[in-house]
Structure 1
Amino acid sequence: MSDEAEETFSPAVPLGTRVRRLAPSMTRSVHAVAEAVAADPAGCARLTVSALAAHTGTSEATVVRTARLLGYPGYRDLRLALAALAARQESEEPVAAPALGADIAVDDPLSDVVAKLAREEAQTLADTAAGLDVSALAAAVTALATAGRIDVYGVGASALVAQDLAQKLLRIGLIAHAHSDPHVAVTGAVQLRPGDAAVAISHSGATGDVVDSLRAAFGRGATTVAVTGRPGGPVTRYADLVLATSAARETRLRPAAMSSRTSQLLVVDCLFVGVAQQTYDRAAPALAASYEALAPRRRNPRQEPRP
C-alpha cells in the first residue's frame, strides 16, 4: 500500500487541513488536484471528473485517487462535500486575503518575517487541533498517568520536544526519561514492561533510531504512543496510539523540522495538562515542591549587591 492511502480523516477535519497534512506525501499530480479543490471548492464542485482532470492537467484516475486520499469514497462524494463547503463559505462573512505571501524570501524585512511566521504558526496549531484524535489523546493521557515508567524518544529537533515532555512529567512526580542517544534509547526500551509507556516523537514517522526504540518498547508490552506528522509512517506500526501533528509547508529558510516543532509542543502540552488533571492530588504537591526547590536559584536583581 502506498503512503497516500494510509491516513483517514473524519468529516469534521476541514478540507484545507487535510490537504496541508497530506501534502508532504502527495505526488505532484495528486497535490495539484488537492490544491485546486481546496482553493476553489465552488468552482470544482461544478466540474465532472473528466473536467477537473483537464483543469488540473491530470487524469481521471488521479482525481478519484485524490478524493479517496482526502477521505471520500469517490469523486461524487467529494463534489457533494465541495458544494456544501462552498455554500457555507458564501453564508459567512468574507475574510480579507492576507497581504503577505506564505513563503519567506531571503530579502524579506524582519517585520514581514515576523508576520509570516506568526500566521504559519497559528495555522499549524489550528490544523493540529482540528485533526487531533481526542479519544487517542485521552487514552495516551491515561497510559502516562498510570505508567510505572515513561521513556520518550526523539532525534534532532524532535529530541528537544522529547526532553520537554520528560521534564514536564518529572515535575509532577512521574518517572520519565528522554533518550536522544539511540543506543541508550534501545537499551532502556528493552527494560520496559507492561504497565510502562513509551512515546516516540518523529515528524516524518520514519526516523530509524526512533522507530527501532519504539519497536523494542512495543515488543516488551509497554503502551506505545507515536506523535507524528505521518500517521501512516513506519513508526505507527509499533504504536498503540497515534497522535497526528501538522506542519507548515517546507521552504528553503524553514525546514520541516522547524515548522513541525510547534505542533509537537502543542500535543506535548495537551498530554501534560491531561496527566496533571488525572493525577492532580499527586501532581499539585509535586509541582509546588519543584518550584520551591528551584526558588533559591531564581536570582532577584534587586537583591543583588551592587559592584
Structure 2
Amino acid sequence: MKTILETLQSRLSQLSPVNQALARHVITDPETFIAQTTAQIAHASGVSAASVIRFVRQFEFADLQSFKLALAREKTLPAEVMPLDPLVQDDDDLSTMMHKLSQTAIAAVRDLPDELDQSAVQSAITTLRQARHIYLVGVSASALVAQDLYLKLIRAGYVAIFDHDTHTAVERAYYTTPADAMVVFSYSGLTKEVVLAAQQARRNQTPVIAVTRHEPSPLREAASCVIALPPTEPLLRIGAVTSMFTETYVANILFLGVVQGEIKKTEQNYRATSQLTSELKIRGEKYVNRRLNDRAKKSGQHTHRHNDNA
C-alpha cells in the first residue's frame, strides 16, 4: 500500500493546478505542512482555505487534521511536530501571532459564501422571519455567538430567547411550539446540552436550525435545517478561533436576512431604543461629542474657505 507521499507523487500529473500546488507543498516539506494552520497552508500554496479541505477529501480524509495525523505516522515524526494548535507556538512573537490570526480570520470567511449551502441559509431565514419566538442555544464559545444574535434580534423588535444557564435552556425547550424556531450553535455538534434542547424542540415539532461543522453528529440528526460549516478547526485546540469566525459570520447573515425587507422598521426600532437608553450614556464634550465637534469644526472651516473664495 502506497504512503501518502508516494500517492501524491504518483498522481501529481493528474491533479488540477490547485491540487498540484498543495501536493508539492506536502511533498517538499511535510513537517512544515503538519505544523501549519489551514490559512498558512493556503497562503504558502497560493490557494484558498476551501481548496485545502477539498484537497484532503480527494484523498479520502474527512478533514485536514486526519490527513496530518496520517502523514505524521507515516513519517514517524516526533510528537512535538504535531502541535495541539498550530495557531500559536511558544516561540511566536506578537507580530507573528497577529499575522497568523489575521490570515486565519481572512481565510475562515473569504470562501464561506461558496462553501455554505445557500438554500439551507435561505430556508433558515424564512423560518426565522415567520417564527413567533426565536430560541438561541449555545454553550461555551458558541454561547457568545448565540447571545450576540439574540441581542441583535431583540433590539430589532423580534421576540428572541437566550439562556446562559444550559439547564434552563433545556427546560425552556420543553415549551417550544411549531410556531417557534430554534437556532443551535455548536461547532462539534456533540455537546449534550444543545443536543437535548434540539431533540426536545423537534419532539414539539419546532423547526431547529443547526449551525455546526460538516461532519456527522447527533445535532445534525436532530435538526430540521443544517447550515454546515467547513471543518477547518480540530475539536481539540487551544481555543475556538476559526469556528467562532465562521459561526459569527452565519449568525450575522441570518440576522441581516431576517431584517432585510424591513430595514425602515428596523431603523425606527434602533432609533427608538437608542433614545430610550441614551440616558445611560456618559455625556459631555470630552467624551460623546468630541468626534462630532471635530467634524463640525472641519465643516465650518470648509464653509469659511468657500465664502472667502466667493
Distance in 1 (alpha carbons) for counterparts of 2:58 and 2:157: 37
1:278 Cα offset (Å) = 3.7
Further displaced range: 214-223 or 126-135: 126-135
Determine the structure 2 residue equivalent to 1:258. Answer: 241
1:172 Cα offset (Å) = 0.8
Shift in CA distance, 246/127, structure 1 to aligned 2, threshold 3 Å = farther
Q: Aligned pair 1:180/2:164, yes or no?
A: yes
Letter matched to residue 112 of structure 2: T
Determine the structure 2 residue equivalent to 1:295. Answer: 278
Q: Aligned pair 1:269/2:305, yes or no?
A: no
Distance in 2 (alpha carbons) for counterparts of 1:297 and 1:22: 56
Report the structure number with the largest CA radius of gyration: 2
Question: What stretches of structure 1 of length at least 5 have no aligned partner?
Answer: 1-12, 36-101
Determine the structure 2 residue equivalent to 1:156. Answer: 140
Determine the structure 2 residue equivalent to 1:68. Answer: none
Letter matched to residue 159 of structure 1: A
Shift in CA distance, 19/174, structure 1 to aligned 2, threshold 3 Å = farther
Determine the structure 1 residue equivalent to 2:104. Answer: 120
**CA offsets per residue over residues 199-224 of structure 1, 9 Å max, x none?**
11000011110000011111111111
Shift in CA distance, 14/264, structure 1 to aligned 2, threshold 3 Å = closer
Shift in CA distance, 254/33, structure 1 to aligned 2, threshold 3 Å = closer
Further displaced range: 232-241 or 154-163: 232-241
Determine the structure 2 residue equivalent to 1:31. Answer: 67
The question of whether the paired residues in 2 share the 8 Å contact of 1:17 and 1:127 is answered with: no
Distance in 2 (alpha carbons) for counterparts of 1:110 and 1:179: 36
1:251 Cα offset (Å) = 9.8
**CA offsets per residue over residues 139-180 of structure 1, 9 Å max, x none?**
111111111001111111111111011111101111101123
Letter matched to residue 236 of structure 1: R
The number of residue pairs the alignment matches comes to 224
Question: What stretches of structure 2 of length at least 5 have no aligned partner?
Answer: 1-48, 72-85, 288-310
The question of whether the paired residues in 2 share the 8 Å contact of 1:153 and 1:201 is answered with: yes
Shift in CA distance, 14/157, structure 1 to aligned 2, threshold 3 Å = closer
State TM-score, norm by structure 1: 0.65
The question of whether the paired residues in 2 share the 8 Å contact of 1:151 and 1:198 is answered with: yes
State TM-score, norm by structure 2: 0.64
Distance in 1 (alpha carbons) for counterparts of 2:232 and 2:284: 40
Distance in 1 (alpha carbons) for counterparts of 2:168 and 2:57: 32
Q: Aligned pair 1:212/2:196, yes or no?
A: yes
Distance in 2 (alpha carbons) for counterparts of 1:202 and 1:21: 22
Determine the structure 1 residue equivalent to 2:54. Answer: 18
Distance in 1 (alpha carbons) for counterparts of 2:197 and 2:167: 9
Letter matched to residue 54 of structure 2: R
Distance in 2 (alpha carbons) for counterparts of 1:217 and 1:19: 37
The question of whether the paired residues in 2 share the 8 Å contact of 1:21 and 1:247 is answered with: no
Shift in CA distance, 260/197, structure 1 to aligned 2, threshold 3 Å = same
SS in 1 for 2:132: coil
Letter matched to residue 275 of structure 1: V
**CA offsets per residue over residues 9-55 of structure 1, 9 Å max, x none?**
xxxx95424358999x83899626999xxxxxxxxxxxxxxxxxxxx
The question of whether the paired residues in 1 share the 8 Å contact of 2:57 and 2:63 is answered with: no
Shift in CA distance, 22/153, structure 1 to aligned 2, threshold 3 Å = farther
Distance in 1 (alpha carbons) for counterparts of 2:89 and 2:242: 16
The 5 A counterparts of 1:71-220 are 103-220=87-204
The question of whether the paired residues in 2 share the 8 Å contact of 1:103 and 1:251 is answered with: no
Letter matched to residue 237 of structure 1: E
Determine the structure 1 residue equivalent to 2:216. Answer: 232
Determine the structure 2 residue equivalent to 1:60. Answer: none
Shift in CA distance, 19/249, structure 1 to aligned 2, threshold 3 Å = farther
The question of whether the paired residues in 1 share the 8 Å contact of 2:146 and 2:185 is answered with: yes
Determine the structure 2 residue equivalent to 1:221. Answer: 205
Distance in 1 (alpha carbons) for counterparts of 2:93 and 2:147: 33
Letter matched to residue 123 of structure 1: A
Distance in 1 (alpha carbons) for counterparts of 2:69 and 2:137: 36
The question of whether the paired residues in 2 share the 8 Å contact of 1:19 and 1:34 is answered with: no
SS in 1 for 2:230: coil
Distance in 1 (alpha carbons) for counterparts of 2:58 and 2:108: 13
1:130 Cα offset (Å) = 2.4
1:241 Cα offset (Å) = 1.1
Distance in 2 (alpha carbons) for counterparts of 1:211 and 1:166: 19
Letter matched to residue 116 of structure 1: K
